Amino acid sequence: MSLFSYEGFFVLTILMLALDLYQTRGGQVTIKKAAIWSLFWVALALIFNVVIYMYWPQMAPDSAYTNSEAATAFLTGYLLEKSLSVDNLFVFALIFGQFAVPESIRPRVLMLGVVGALILRAFMIMVGSELLTQFHWILYIFAAFLLYTGYKLWSEDEEEQEDFSESLPVRLVKKCFRVTDDYKGNRFFVKDSKGWLATPLLIVIAVIALTDVMFALDSIPAIFAVTKEPFLVMTANVFALLGLRSLYFVLEGMLTRFCYLRPALAFILSFIGIKMLLMETAYAIPTVISLGVIVLTITIAIVGSLWKTREVKVKA
């Protein structure tokens, strides 16, 4: 079994998830520790990008990509998925606040959210890749969806926060189980004299599972506009999600400062949608141009946000 096979990368993913779980054991994650691990996961992705550049023919013998094209596609896909994953953090923070999730169990909740996202995206990548192979016109549906998503992000009111308290997962759990008033550590169920009860933790996991589906519907079509190579799509998603937990604890107190992130993501999704529409034409946008647009847009959004909110106090 080779690292360059799907089986080999699956084993590597399991090992990396185990490492991520180990470094947040006990539920206490300091900002310093989270920052170090965030840099570690980014560095690991960049190292993997170098490996792609050096060994791409062995990874995908039948690919039409050159080494540099494959490396550029992976890096572009990784940065795209990483940028979109930051939007997940806003929703995670909102869910944690609305359901009063204790800080001690947030790392576990995030891990389950990441694992769920990985499983969903792996499934959607396989389905999406097969659909694009069999039905080329699906490309234009993906493009239209990305343009619509970009428009929604651009036009929605950031001040109007979504209320998850009456969402479908909450109603389903409450319909099937009695629910305790408070959390019981990491337990999903507890038992009393009348039988089994669900804890609020089960509701939180159900809500996060639904958000995973929603985010996958955005991110998978977006990365297919960058590359149709399933191995690159899968690995870019895995590396983008692996550092999500640590990144959450780094940015937890700063999320309100990124006021220009949503408009930036709206522009990126719209740009990627246009790129997808032009893929089979004489006006196709090179991947290296897409990489430059993503890096420049996110950089401007971050710098602009931090400058505009420079007097805002950061949560300790």
> What's residue 162's pLDDT?
67
The C-alpha atoms of residue 109 and residue 231 are separated, in whole angstroms, by 28
> What's residue 296's pLDDT?
93
> What's residue 12's pLDDT?
82
pTM exceeds 0.85, yes or no: no
The C-alpha atoms of residue 303 and residue 175 are separated, in whole angstroms, by 46
> What's residue 242's pLDDT?
82
> What's residue 244's pLDDT?
80
pLDDT tens track of the chain, all 316 residues? Answer: 455 666 778 888 888 888 877 776 655 667 777 888 889 999 999 999 999 999 888 887 888 889 999 999 999 999 998 888 877 777 888 888 888 888 888 888 888 888 888 888 888 888 888 877 787 778 888 888 888 888 887 876 655 556 777 788 888 888 888 888 888 888 888 887 788 888 888 888 888 888 877 777 778 888 888 888 888 988 998 898 887 877 887 777 666 677 788 888 889 889 988 988 888 788 888 888 998 998 999 899 888 888 887 776 555 4
In the chain, how long is the greatest CA-to-CA distance? 71
The C-alpha atoms of residue 37 and residue 280 are separated, in whole angstroms, by 40
The C-alpha atoms of residue 279 and residue 269 are separated, in whole angstroms, by 15
For residues 18-44, one letter each, b for 16 or more C-beta atoms within 10 angstroms of the residue's C-beta and e for the rest, the string is eebeebbeeeebebeebeebbebbbee
Q: What is the DSSP string of 102-114?
A: -GGGHHHHHHHHH
Q: Extract the tokens encoding 265.
A: 């993501």
Q: Tell me if 255 sits within 8 A of 312, measured CB to CB.
A: no
> What's residue 1's pLDDT?
47
